[in-house]
Chains A and B, each alone.
Chain A
Amino acid sequence: MSLLMTSDLRVHFHTRNGLVKAVDGISFSVEEGKTYAIIGESGSGKSVACYSMLGLVPMPPGKIESGEVWFEGQDLLKLSESQLRKIRGKGISIIFQDPMTSLNPFLKIGDQLIEPLLLHFGMSKKDAWRKGIEILEEVGIKDPAQRMKSWPFEFSGGMRQRVVIAMALVTEPKIIIADEPTTALDVTVQAQILKLLKELQIHRNIGVIFISHDLSVVADIADEIAVMQNGVFVEQGTRDAIFTNPQDEYTKKLLAAVPHSEKELQQEEHSYLITAENVSVHFSGNKGEGLVRAVDNVSLQIKQHEILGLVGESGSGKSTAGRAILRLLNLAGGKIVFNGKDISHYSKAEMKPLRRQMQMIFQDPYASLNPRMSVYDTLAEPLLLHKIVSKKDLDKEVFSLMDSVGLSRESVLRYPHEFSGGQRQRIAIGRAIATKPAFIVADEPVSALDVTIQAQILDLLLNLVDQFDLTMLFISHDLGVVRYLADRVLVMKDGKLVEEGSVQQIFANPQESYTQALLEAIPGKSLLGVS
């Protein structure tokens, strides 16, 4: 029996810039004990569709133009706010994307967890507390009685998401809407959370609406899948149908965006551009914790024109290692040789002329661009700083950079907030290649982007590597991405290197159990196997 039936739902936004048809006539139903996945890029309307069913879309500017949403014998769209609030508390729960922001940092976990029980069920505080402990145990939190008294900041990202899931479950809802619940997490943690969600769904026999931009994430858990684009479902069907026999062009594109090819092995011999020997970076930890060895005796070499993948979970020290190699951080020990020069102890001033040869691309294109600088200013800054071109040729060079990274010249005077995430990352890449560097550290440059955009940015990077003869250290938590692009892979854990090898070796024959776990966690590996 279906738990939830939605038919012909239309949500439009009346904005100053005209009408936006965010959701334009979608119909679907969610069954007991099944997962219904809605896949689409950001802006496709997938979140709006789900939030509007619960009256969580701001109106105005939003307006529900038509549709019915049947749940437990009532049409949700016709309910008053106070009736909807009851549904939100008891019938349908939501798990939000970012576990870092969806918990109140000033309330203990337990207090947040039992709040709805006190509110909607009128439970006594003691009973509610006991129930909270049970739920925490169910979502796999160790020592739940103790953890109820912890603050949110004492949990890691994955653990927080478990708490958020517990909060969604505590009222025993019939349906859970999971809005990109794993996008902010590492692949290994993602795999655990997906497994947990699947178990809970089967065990409690609830319906799950799973929203994601990534088809591969739902490959293992979805029963039915809808692919959404520009407010409509371009394709709907069972998981097998979607994966084995996609009909729509867009679905095919999404499937193709999953990076699954391996790079050709290069045979040419090159000299080493970067050599790091026993590099260590230490941070002074919190009180009583002593020294944190973020990077511990790491040695690596990167050949000219090579893309070296550096893989590990968050906290493994991979980003720190990348920054240390660029000497953005001071070393606690070890030696870094760049282009034959020992730069381990160069001062800031000595590093400055070298900066034009070594650049960095950052993870979050929303944070890595100065919001008050136009594209022109952002790209012109390195050119002027390192006197790459004269003032006279500045305009020409800026435009040629924009061409290289695939930005339209018309947008030269725009500011970062006017661009999408993918375009912003293009600006950031343009800034990094402006000085024609020899070496680039790319720190998770695609993990903040939608899958289809990821594929484009990865291709752009590969192109630029060829065109500008770049050498690259590519840092990522996602082996799938690394496999697509890198020549050689290093695996890092707790500040140490645990495995090193060519892409083929690592994927075909991983030696370390940690590497095996990382491989295991690649989303939709069944998908990779099929194709």
Chain B
Amino acid sequence: MSNQAAIVEKIDAMPKGVSLWDDAWMRLKKNKLAMFGLCFLLFMMIVCLLAPLLTPYGYEDQDLRLGASVPSVTHWLGTDTFGRDMLTRILYGGRVSLMVGFIATSVALLIGVTYGAIAGYAGGRIDALMMRLVDIIYALPFMIFIVLLMVVFGRNLLLLFLAIGAVEWLVMARIVRGQIQNLKQQEFVEAAISLGLSSGAIIRKHLIPNALGPIIVYTTLTIPNVMLLEAFLSFLGLGIQPPQSSWGLLISYGVESMEEYPWLLIFPGLALTLTLFALNFLGDGLRDALDPKASRD
């Protein structure tokens, strides 16, 4: 065995607990575009969080004499019609938008994947019952549902996030259930059963990892969705209230005055678009990294 030494070396170099996730992380690190996306998202989160330290203005500080002014040295991204600094408002708005994006999507992901996986794996009557429930919730007018929540619990930002997540998980559950239904007929699931694995472990270790592709793709589609939903709700007065803001709200106000003050639309639009780009790069990278079949080198 001339290559014995090489093997031993390789074994030592073997990461502890070679799981799909460690492996995926190693592969993700090699994907430049995805890493760029990840870095950009982290950067965006940090600047939004540190907004009070980064700009000399408050998000509600008005300067009515100034009014809407073009970008300048004092106001890098200009000011809105009330003379509020746009950079500041975009950074503060980013807090809301990123938060709603991540919290609502996480809620949708968590509930949707768990619910869908259980329904798909259980099959039969349990599946029928669980999916009919999804249909019923889906059929409820979404607005009424949220208004109801707001009336009962009072207006609360966190509740708003949860409410959006509680609506978005329905589609996720359907997608995951379909995937799991297909996957559970594969022989490797039967092999896992014959090894004595519990149903929970089979869902966790064998089924969900194989459904990750569609889950990730749908997640990257959900995040912009919930950001825009938040804007829509806020616009109706159900979400956050001025002078607080979010990217979605900034954009919808920007659209109104697009012809006179285009920068009110362009800059928040740019912030949202770049973030979504970064998300998509990251999502694509993750999907490839989690699929061992997507070229390994």
Asked if A415 meets B196 with Cβ closer than 8 Å, knowing A367-B187, A428-B191, the reply is no
A366-397 residues at the B interface, CB under 8 angstroms: 367-374, 376-377, 381-382, 385-386, 395
Asked if A417 meets B193 with Cβ closer than 8 Å, knowing A367-B186, A395-B11, the reply is no
Give 19 A-B pairs besides A353-B196, A372-B292 with Cβ atoms closer than 8 angstroms.
Answer: A355-B194, A355-B195, A360-B191, A362-B190, A368-B186, A369-B188, A369-B191, A370-B188, A370-B192, A370-B209, A372-B210, A373-B20, A377-B18, A381-B205, A382-B195, A385-B197, A395-B14, A417-B292, A431-B195
What residues of A have a CB within 8 angstroms of the CB of B197 in the complex? 381, 385
Q: Does A180 contact B (CB under 8 A)?
A: no
Nearest residue in A to B10 (C-beta to C-beta)?
A410
A440 to B18, CA, bound (A): 28
What per-residue 1/0 map shows which CB atoms of A330-363 lie under 8 Å from chain B? 0000000000000000000001110110111011
Contacts A/B (CB < 8 Å), 10 sampled: A355-B194, A369-B191, A370-B205, A370-B206, A370-B210, A372-B292, A374-B23, A382-B196, A410-B6, A418-B296
Nearest residue in B to A356 (C-beta to C-beta)?
B196
A351 to B191, CA, bound (A): 15
Contact across chains for B292 and A431 when beta carbons are under 8 A apart: no
A351 to B196, CA, bound (A): 8
Q: Does B2 contact A (CB under 8 A)?
A: no
What residues of B have a CB within 8 angstroms of the CB of A385 in the complex? 195-197, 201
Q: Does A364 contact B (CB under 8 A)?
A: yes
Q: How many of chain A's residues touch chain B, expressed as a range?
A: 35 or more
Nearest residue in B to A363 (C-beta to C-beta)?
B187
Q: Does A413 contact B (CB under 8 A)?
A: yes
What residues of B have a CB within 8 angstroms of the CB of A363 in the complex? 187
Q: Which of A328, A370, A373, A374 contacts B194 (CB 8 A)?
A: A328
A242 to B57, CA, bound (A): 91
- Please name the 6 residue pairs, one residue from A and one from B, whose CB atoms are nearest each other, closest first: A355-B196, A415-B292, A368-B187, A367-B187, A372-B209, A360-B194
What residues of A have a CB within 8 angstroms of the CB of B206 in the complex? 370, 373
What residues of B have a CB within 8 angstroms of the CB of A352 in the complex? 196, 198
What residues of B have a CB within 8 angstroms of the CB of A263 in the complex? none
Q: Does A409 contact B (CB under 8 A)?
A: yes
What residues of A have a CB within 8 angstroms of the CB of B186 in the complex? 367-368
What residues of B have a CB within 8 angstroms of the CB of A415 in the complex? 292-293, 296
Q: Does A166 contact B (CB under 8 A)?
A: no
Q: How many of chain B's residues touch chain A, expressed as a range?
A: 20 to 34
- A56 smallest CB distance to B (angstroms): 25
Q: Does A326 contact B (CB under 8 A)?
A: yes
What residues of A have a CB within 8 angstroms of the CB of B293 in the complex? 371, 415, 417
What per-residue 1/0 map shows which CB atoms of A316-328 lie under 8 Å from chain B? 0000000000101
What per-residue 1/0 map shows which CB atoms of B195-220 lie under 8 Å from chain A? 11110010001100110100000000
**Which among B23, B192, B194, B205 has the highest number of chain A CB atoms within 10 Å?**
B194
Asked if A362 meets B187 with Cβ closer than 8 Å, knowing A395-B11, A431-B195, the reply is yes
Contact across chains for A367 and B194 when beta carbons are under 8 A apart: no
Q: Does B72 contact A (CB under 8 A)?
A: no
Contact across chains for B195 and A359 when beta carbons are under 8 A apart: yes
- B21 smallest CB distance to A (angstroms): 10
- A447 smallest CB distance to B (angstroms): 14
What residues of A have a CB within 8 angstroms of the CB of B201 in the complex? 385
Contact across chains for B18 and A413 when beta carbons are under 8 A apart: yes
Contact across chains for A410 and B3 when beta carbons are under 8 A apart: yes
Contact across chains for B14 and A368 when beta carbons are under 8 A apart: no
What residues of B have a CB within 8 angstroms of the CB of A374 in the complex? 18, 23, 292
B171-196 residues at the A interface, CB under 8 angstroms: 186-188, 190-196
Contact across chains for B188 and A368 when beta carbons are under 8 A apart: yes
Contact across chains for B296 and A362 when beta carbons are under 8 A apart: no
What per-residue 1/0 map shows which CB atoms of A404-444 lie under 8 Å from chain B? 00000110110101100000000010010001000000000
What per-residue 1/0 map shows which CB atoms of B211-245 lie under 8 Å from chain A? 01000000000000000000000000000000000
Q: Which of B191, B196, B210, B292 contacts A386 (CB 8 A)?
A: B196
Nearest residue in B to A375 (C-beta to C-beta)?
B18
